[in-house]
């Protein structure tokens, strides 16, 4: 394995990864009618990213598994189990390859369902966000320059801190607190971009070398080459970064609720205890030249 901290990512041209993720729920008494949703395996293709060998192992007694693509093109697994005695464990393993120099092009019709511009419950702009959007639009050309300004503003307005927000925290709530984690940074940038008229979407995945699941934003801008196509540009407001080959995408959506890695319901008067493990190993690397 290759140490990600030793890599010159600016000159990397091809990378391959092995992503291993375990999600485990333990229950003090048996539960029934488990209906669970997992979004942990990336699509076969996503821009310059290619999915290789992959598998999902489930330890839950008798369970039925169905997989499908949602409206964003994400791979979604639905797991149904009539009874779970004490625990359920999901183990996802996937090989991923990325190559530099291939823009993520979206075919004509990319704006058709409108989710890139529509505020969600988690990204609804408050008066402060709307005011900042007006200031940015008045002084910056629409497009990449405006997206850069939005990312910089979010980065400067927030302090990274665990434990002060949750998966239901909205962009405006996070801004009021002034602290949060990557999903809060992403939600705030989405709220600001959409208020500025910039189509944008939430991205869930992994940043190589970091511990947990990461979140960032893609701003989608037309190519203006007569095709009607667009290019999805990466912006990571948590790190004020334009991304690179050290980012592995799992899913995209309007906000976190569309791409939550694990969620579901069951019938029992008890709460489960969640534990997770993740490892992203850099297995090969090619440099330019």
HSE, CB side, 13 Å, CA atoms: give it for residue 210.
14
Dist CA 87 CA 27 (whole Å): 6
Return the DSSP state at 209: T
pLDDT in tens, 95-123: 999 999 878 999 999 998 899 999 999 99
d(CA 286, CA 245): 11
pLDDT the model gives residue 1 = 75
Q: Taking residues 55-69, what's their average pLDDT?
A: 92
Looking at residues 246-264, what average pLDDT do you find? 97
Query: What is the band of 173 on the pLDDT scale with cuts at 50, 70, 90?
Result: very high
Give the length of the chain. Answer: 289
Contact between 151 and 235 under an 8 Å Cβ cutoff? The reply is: yes
CA dist 97 and 120 (Å) reads 32
pLDDT of residue 182: 97
Which of helix, strand or coil describes residue 177?
helix
* Beta pairing partners, 206: 248
> Where is pLDDT greater, at 162 or 5?
162
- pLDDT given for residue 60 in this prediction: 83
- Percent residues over pLDDT 90 in the chain: 92
Q: What residues contact 224, with CB distance under 8 A and at least 6 apart?
A: none
138's torsion region: left (phi>0), alpha (psi -120 to 50) or beta?
alpha
What pLDDT score was predicted for residue 4? 86
CB atoms within 10 A of CB 85: 11
Predicted pLDDT at 210? 82
Domains of the chain are 4-100+260-287 (2.60.40.2250), 104-259 (3.10.620.30)
- Is the pLDDT assigned to residue 211 strictly greater than 90? no
Look over the chain and give the mean of its residue pLDDT values, rounded to a whole number: 95
Confidence band for 54, pLDDT divided at 50, 70 and 90: very high
| Cβ atoms of residues 27 and 257 within 8 Å | no
């Amino acid at each position: 394995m290759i140490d990600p901290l030793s890599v010159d990512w600016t000159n990397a041209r091809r990378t391959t990864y092995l992503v291993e993720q375990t999600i485990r729920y333990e229950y003090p008494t048996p539960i029934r009618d488990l209906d669970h949703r997992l979004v942990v395996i990336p699509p076969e293709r996503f821009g310059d990213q290619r999915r290789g060998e992959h598998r999902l192992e489930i330890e839950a007694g008798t369970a039925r598994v169905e997989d499908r693509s949602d409206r964003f093109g994400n791979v979604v697994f639905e797991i149904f189990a009539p009874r779970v005695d004490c625990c359920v464990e999901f183990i996802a393993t996937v090989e991923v390859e990325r190559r530099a120099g291939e823009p993520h092009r979206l075919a004509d019709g990319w704006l058709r369902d409108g989710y890139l511009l529509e505020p969600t419950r988690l990204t609804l702009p408050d008066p402060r966000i709307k005011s900042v959007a007006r200031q940015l639009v008045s002084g910056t050309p629409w497009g990449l320059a405006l997206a850069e300004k939005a990312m910089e503003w979010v980065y400067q307005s927030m302090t990274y801190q665990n434990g002060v927000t949750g998966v239901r925290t909205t962009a405006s709530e996070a801004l009021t607190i002034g602290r949060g984690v990557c999903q809060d940074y992403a939600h705030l940038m989405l709220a600001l971009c959409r208020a500025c008229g910039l189509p944008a979407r939430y991205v869930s995945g992994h940043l190589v070398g970091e511990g947990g699941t990461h979140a960032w934003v893609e701003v989608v801008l037309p190519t203006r080459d007569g095709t009607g196509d667009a290019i999805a540009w990466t912006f990571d407001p948590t790190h004020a970064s334009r991304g690179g080959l050290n980012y592995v995408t799992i899913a995209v959506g309007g906000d976190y609720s569309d791409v939550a890695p694990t969620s579901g319901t069951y019938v029992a008067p008890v709460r489960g205890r969640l534990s997770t493990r993740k490892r992203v190993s850099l297995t090969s690397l090619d440099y330019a030249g």
